[in-house]
Amino acid sequence: METQRQRKIAGVIQKDIVDILQKAAIDGGLKGTLISVSKVSVTTDLSIAKVYLSIFPTGQAAELLEGIKSNQPLIKHELSQRTRNQLRRVPELLFYIDDSLDYIDGIEKSLKGEENPIENRDLLERRKKS
């Protein structure tokens, strides 16, 4: 269960990281790429913040995530400058791809009947639990 303090810090971090990443994308010349922060979760000791990113188009997602991870110290510094009056210490930032939209899309396709495992036997292999 998240405390109110964790939720407040996560909200502050989410708002500022969105601004930082969008400004970096515009300055870097990434036109037509949408980067959004879908969720931020902060540990109970407030030392680590997991940042879940949703990147569209998804073809560039892995490449962009590596670029964001390599620039993590610069992003943390910019975040500390923006939140210096709100946070004493900025948590360590860990970036992840949020694939929940792809997961939801797969469920919708299955429910609509677009993927029929009876007709296409290859789908059964993908659905087996490992």
Share of the chain above pLDDT 90, in %: 48
Q: What is the per-residue pLDDT across 68-91, written as a single tens digit (0 to 9) for each?
A: 999 999 999 999 999 998 888 999
Average of pLDDT values for 17-35? 86
Position with higher pLDDT, 120 vs 93: 93
Amino acid identity at 53: L
pLDDT at 119 (0 to 100): 63
Instruction: Provide the phi-psi class of 90: left if phi over 0, else alpha when psi is between -120 and 50, else beta.
Output: beta
Q: What is the per-residue pLDDT across 52-71, written as a single tens digit (0 to 9) for each?
A: 998 887 788 888 899 899 99
Q: What is the pTM of this model?
A: 0.78
pLDDT(118) > 80: no
pLDDT at 115 (0 to 100): 63
Share of the chain above pLDDT 70, in %: 86
3-state secondary structure labels for all residues of 21-38: HHHHHHHCCCCCCEEEEE
pLDDT at 56 (0 to 100): 82
